[in-house]
Amino acid sequence: MATSKKTGAPTEKKHPGYIDCEVWFEYGKTPSYGYSTPEQSKSLAGSFSASISGLDDDTTYHFRAVASSGVGTDYGSDMTFTTEISISHIFDTGPGTYPSIFGTHKGTITPNQTLTVSKLYTYPCSGTGGHTESIEFYESDNLIANGTWNGYHGDYPNITIHSVTGAPYLTLIEDHEYNYTIHTGSYPQICHTDALQTANGWINCTEFVDVNGKRYKDGIPAIRLTHDEGTLRIGAFNIQVFGKSKASKPEVMDVLGKIIRTYDVIAIQEIRDKSQTALPALVNTVNSDNSEYDYVVSERLGRTTSKEQYAYIYNTQTVELTDTPYTYPEPAGTDPFHREPYIASFRGGNFDFTLVGIHTKPDHKGTITYSEISHLTDVVDSILATNPNETDIIVLGDFNADGDYFDEDTNTNPFKAPKFRWVITNDMDTMVRTDWTYDRMVMMNATLNHEYVSGSAAVFYFDTEYGISDENLVWNVSDHYPIYAKFRTDLADDD
């Protein structure tokens, strides 16, 4: 992922008298924006800046400056910037040429700077499924990393590279020579030379043996080594009364499947299905492109006859379930939750974490919702009592934390204590037809300051992202938008 810093410079403050106001940037991939930077207080006309991280590589973003006070709110002009591919994390031969044939490539790579790589992309010939079947890296005849193809699904031209130590990346040291063995399939592109200089060093061919056994000295595979900084996209989605009726609508299921495939782990709320058939059908839709997602689901919960279930749907290629999920065991003689939170632990790379999924009971008086949110502190405490070393606890879901149910500006609720960091903030609208922020994600400082990708928490406006103009379709998908944040998996484990 790229990290980009962009600065807006409003030349005047339109509020008379230069009164105190709050300023921030709105930004996103379309002029609808969808994301915003933290507010800053300003009392003078002039420029301000903000750092934005967690942006996609080689992508154009729209942004504008916003200033707000008691007088009103002013919006700056729409502007754009484009992120770059970080050259320090890429070793790229560029495309190759015809003729093409698959086989086994052997040679050397000598980087001219230290590189961290975790993905291998193979340039396919047009109209083919050219790819790399496997790659091995050696240093002084010792295997140091490898990667294996997972078949024709998802982003099939890419394969993940793992160090033999288990780390989901490989560090190539400046001016060191590394041997590679790459087995290709179908019709990948080939650079027909024995030596090729790239921006980040040299790649050489020592031998290429094609599928027919013919040997060459000038067959370098057309590849690109990249590093995605080892991130997971984790989030939550209330999919609004999900049962047999919604599962029977192909256009709705198609959108839900596309959304879920953008996540590594997603906490699902509001499954209402006595037949227990709707969730398996949804996961089958997610896997219809040969993805490999699995799920765990809670028992049916609730004090009334209208029961709900929670679920976690996760990508088995990027994360693993590390323990048996369970619903929060309420202390004897208490009943703080209408639907007890659902707790599950996962690992992706070096990041192991525990998710607490919650759908609080909406209460127009605000007392029940407030109470349930406050009791989430007890849930976190119970996890810590069982595993004091688990500092990466993320509470997420439909908190109903806005509107008539909860005063989003309150600081009196125990779950608003400083140690709990609400990364889905009050200015992020999570509802389709209102500007309320019901859905939230909360973590503690240990996660916020280590694995969490700063500024990555956001709302996924799937209608804008997928160009859906049919309001009825959007509403049939859900009355909520999903939320997410990104987390690093390539850092040293801190618990």
**Which domain covers residue 157, as residue numbers?**
91-226
Given the residues 308, 340, 372, 408, the one annotated as active site: 308
For residue 84, what pLDDT is reported? 61
Residues 207 and 292 in one domain: no
Return d(Cα 418, Cα 396) in angstroms, integer: 17
Structure token pair of residue 219: 């067959």
Q: How many helices (H) and strands (E) does the chain have?
A: 8, 37
Residues forming beta bridges with residue 439, ordered by sequence position: 398
Distance between CA atoms of residues 189 and 99, nearest Å? 8
Note the Cα 388 to chain centre separation in Å: 27
Catalytic status, residue 359: yes
Say how far apart CA 58 and CA 237 lie, in whole Å: 28
Radius of gyration of the chain (CA): 25
- Are 150 and 32 contained in the same domain? no
Q: Would residue 494 count as lying in a domain?
A: no
Q: Clarify whether residues 41 and 153 are in a common domain.
A: no
Last residue of a domain, one of 36, 54, 82: 82
For residues 452 and 468, membership in a common domain is answered with yes
pLDDT by 10-residue block (mean), the chain, 495 residues:
33 46 86 81 75 67 88 89 62 92 97 88 90 95 90 76 78 94 96 96 98 97 84 96 97 96 96 97 93 95 95 94 97 97 95 98 91 98 95 97 93 95 95 96 93 91 90 97 92 73
pLDDT score for 103: 97
Same domain, 105 and 76: no
What pLDDT score was predicted for residue 158?
85
Active site residue 162: no
- The CATH number covering residue 198 comes to 2.60.120
Domain with residue 25: its CATH number is 2.60.40.10
Q: Say whether both 123 and 172 belong to one domain.
A: yes
Residue 309: C-alpha distances to residues 264, 267, 301, 460, 473 (Å): 20, 11, 6, 22, 24
pLDDT computed for residue 184 by the predictor: 96
3-state secondary structure at position 281: helix
- pLDDT of res. 374: 98
Adjacent-strand bridge partners of 356? 343, 395
One domain, residues 19 and 112 = no
> 212 and 138, same structural domain?
yes
Backbone φ and ψ for 158, nearest 5 degrees, come out as -100, 140
Residues 362 and 423 both lie in one domain: yes
Q: How many domains does the chain have?
A: 3
Q: Are residues 358 and 433 in the same domain?
A: yes
Q: Directed axis angle between helix 278-286 and helix 250-260, to 10°?
A: 60
Q: What are the angstrom distances between the C-alpha of 302 and each of 244, 309, 330, 423, 479? A: 19, 9, 13, 28, 21
CA 36 to chain centre: 17
Return the number of other C-beta atoms located less than 10 Å from residue 329's C-beta.
Answer: 10
Same domain for 299 and 220 = no
* CA dist., res. 145 & res. 139, Å (int): 10
Query: Is 326 within a domain?
Result: yes
Asked if the structure places residue 493 within a domain, the reply is no
Q: Which of 52, 82, 112 is the last residue of a domain?
A: 82
* Catalytic residue (choose from 89, 192, 359, 480): 359
| Distance of alpha carbon 317 from alpha carbon 186, whole angstroms | 23
**Domain's final residue, options 192, 226, 260:** 226
Task: Say yes or no: 299 and 245 in one domain.
Answer: yes
